[in-house]
Structure 1
Amino acid sequence: MRIINICKRYLHSPTKLVLTFGKKGLFNWVPDPLYLKLLYWSETKKALRLDNPSTYNEKLQWLKLYDRNPEYSNYVDKYNVRSYIKQAIGEEYLIPLIDVYESVEDIEWDKLPEKFVLKCTHGSGSNIICQSKKTLDKQKAIKKLKRWMKKNWYWFGREWPYKDVKPRIICEKFMSDKSDEDLKDYKIFYFHGEPKIIQVDYNRFKGHMRNLYDINWNYINASIEYPTNPEMIIQKPRKIDEMLRLGKILAKDYPHVRIDFYFINDQIYFGEMTFYHGAGLENFSPSEFGEKMGSWIDLKKENNLHT
């Protein structure tokens, strides 16, 4: 029955095969520009205009191809970036590190605390969140980690900074906020070093929602991929101005980067740096909002990158 359902899904939307084959590495032989055009078409049903990009998503594809700043690889590496954060804004903004492992076999499970988080350093969404060692399915976690450690995130969306990141696993302290059971992270979008949008995701595991705010915490009536709810009141973090300032230090004058922070028990913690939000494939509603965000990336400043 599962195979039949899969076949029906692809018969209904055959373009999804590009995404599936890309994730499995079957398109690794296709050059980046051609693959990105295929992927963009398959996910958005639109032609990718690399010669004259205007939307946010189009410009992210352009930046994948032509903005090859070697610093980015260190910043997307979840272990190496810690050194940059310590040097740039201070060690106090780092979630405490328990250990780092070269392989799954190196993890000493018995020595881990009751609660912890395991993260692969070379990709995204590859986390094991343990709130109780007693209920953790260790064998299932090991199976996931082994699969992730063999994966190279570059090949799916051609986000080149991930290509040569060394696969490792870090173990961080499990963080919780006494005042909020749903731990929120604040994703700040920087354009040429200036913050413009703050994204807050919530209800991730029970109906993912996403609200957008400007830097003065005014609600933006638009959505990126996930539904938004103007009636959902998300309190402005008390230290949002400090977050914006810290992010500006990290963003420097890069064409575009998203800096994520957590605000836990009145303390700011760094989350991650992302250069291609949603791989440049997420849906904007209204579509004009995607055009507006695209206008904030001035590719004329990056002409020297396109050789």
Structure 2
Amino acid sequence: MAGAVLDFFKITIPYWVLRIGGYLLPSSRLKERNDAFAKFIKRHRRYPTKNWIFSDVLYRIKSGPELRDPVRTFTTDKELGKIFISGVVGPSYNVPTIGVIRSQSELEAFQFPDRCFIKATHASGLNIFRERGEPIDYDVLAGWLKHSYYKKKREANYRDLAPKIIVEPPIFEGQDFYELNLFCYGEVKVIIRQYGNWRAKSSRRRRLYTAKWEDCNCSMGYPLAEVDKKPAKLDEIVAAANAIAAYFSLVRIDVYTDDNDFFIGEITHCHAGGGQSFIPAEAEIDVSKHIFGASKVNQMA
């Protein structure tokens, strides 16, 4: 009972004060920091620290000036990110592009293939997989062209992105593939192996490994999956990700592979908005040691 009361005064009340205050603030760096702090204490049930812990480092990136770095902004855009990837590791690593839609008139005139992925370039989570020529909901797509992910999430790397829609073909000729999320700090440090249907959250599972595919025995955000074999193309995937990671501090590089080939899908600068917890929670310290080094993590105040 005493713990619940303490949590109410330390977390719940400050959270709602920050949220209410955030609505009153004009769009600004202060509003971004206010939003980041409020979401951190809500999701992690504590205050952020200056320690080298994964969640705290993400918070510092999100609330500080780093997300406004022009390179982070450029590579957040799903169209422009391909230009960056092409320049660093070559165009063959990009998912092909069928077309890019920049306006209502272009949307109305665009001929969508019967099978294609449709994504907003300036947001996260706005995507449609057209499998068999299903009707296109033009009202939904028109809404994407007016959508501001920055105003919704206050992640600064989205602030200056122009609304666009990118259309891509199904990769690997529609055959099975899986996703890897490579967390890099100068180089690849930790990898999430994803399982399940991306459209059905209830089916999703994850397991974390080191860059050498040593099992970390933990997950993030979703239930823990069973141990799996090392991806066939892991060495090549890590080499490509390392080349891209050299331009950032902490960054996530998303890869799709069928074990015969792979594509770099996106460069993600603030994993899950900085709000996902580890499963189990105590694994965050060990994973942080893998990413940032044990000496930094062991300096915790």
TM-score (norm 1): 0.79
> Which residue number corresponds to residue 226 of structure 1?
222
Percent identical among aligned pairs is 26
> Which residue number corresponds to residue 102 of structure 2?
102
Report the structure, 1 or 2, having the larger helix content: 2
Question: In 2, distance between residues paired with 1:113 and 1:257?
Answer: 33
Cα shift at 1:59: 1.2
Q: How does 1:122-141 map to 2 (within 5 A)?
A: 122-133=122-133, 136-139=134-137
Task: From 44, 57, 60, give the equivalent of 1:59.
Answer: 57
Q: How does 1:83-162 map to 2 (within 5 A)?
A: 83-107=83-107, 111-133=111-133, 136-139=134-137, 142-162=138-158
> Which residue number corresponds to residue 172 of structure 1?
168
> Which residue number corresponds to residue 48 of structure 1?
48
> Which residue number corresponds to residue 269 of structure 2?
275
Cα shift at 1:39: 1.6
What one-letter code is carried by the residue in structure 2 that aligns with 1:66?
A: P
On the 8 A contact 1:179/1:265 being kept in 2, the answer is: no
Question: In 1, distance between residues paired with 2:160 and 2:110?
Answer: 31
Question: In 2, distance between residues paired with 1:259 and 1:85?
Answer: 11
Cα gap change, 1:58/1:115 in structure 2, threshold over 3 Å: closer, same or farther? same
What one-letter code is carried by the residue in structure 2 that aligns with 1:41?
A: I
> Which residue number corresponds to residue 289 of structure 1?
283
Question: In 2, distance between residues paired with 1:265 and 1:70?
Answer: 34
Cα shift at 1:78: 0.4
Question: In 1, distance between residues paired with 2:111 and 2:33?
Answer: 46
> Which residue number corresponds to residue 8 of structure 1?
none
Question: In 2, distance between residues paired with 1:95 and 1:284?
Answer: 30
The 3-state SS of whatever aligns with 2:254 is strand
Cα gap change, 1:62/1:109 in structure 2, threshold over 3 Å: closer, same or farther? same
Task: Indicate whether 1:256 and 2:254 are aligned.
Answer: no
Q: How many residues align?
A: 271
The 3-state SS of whatever aligns with 1:199 is strand
> Which residue number corresponds to residue 305 of structure 1?
none
Question: In 1, distance between residues paired with 2:156 and 2:231?
Answer: 33
The 3-state SS of whatever aligns with 1:287 is coil
**C-alpha offsets along residues 84-111 of structure 1, whole Å, 9 cap, x if unaligned?**
1111111111111111110354236773
> Which residue number corresponds to residue 202 of structure 1?
195
What one-letter code is carried by the residue in structure 2 that aligns with 1:116?
A: C
Give me the CA root mean square deviation: 2.8
**C-alpha offsets along residues 159-207 of structure 1, whole Å, 9 cap, x if unaligned?**
2111101111111111246763xx311111101x121111121113252
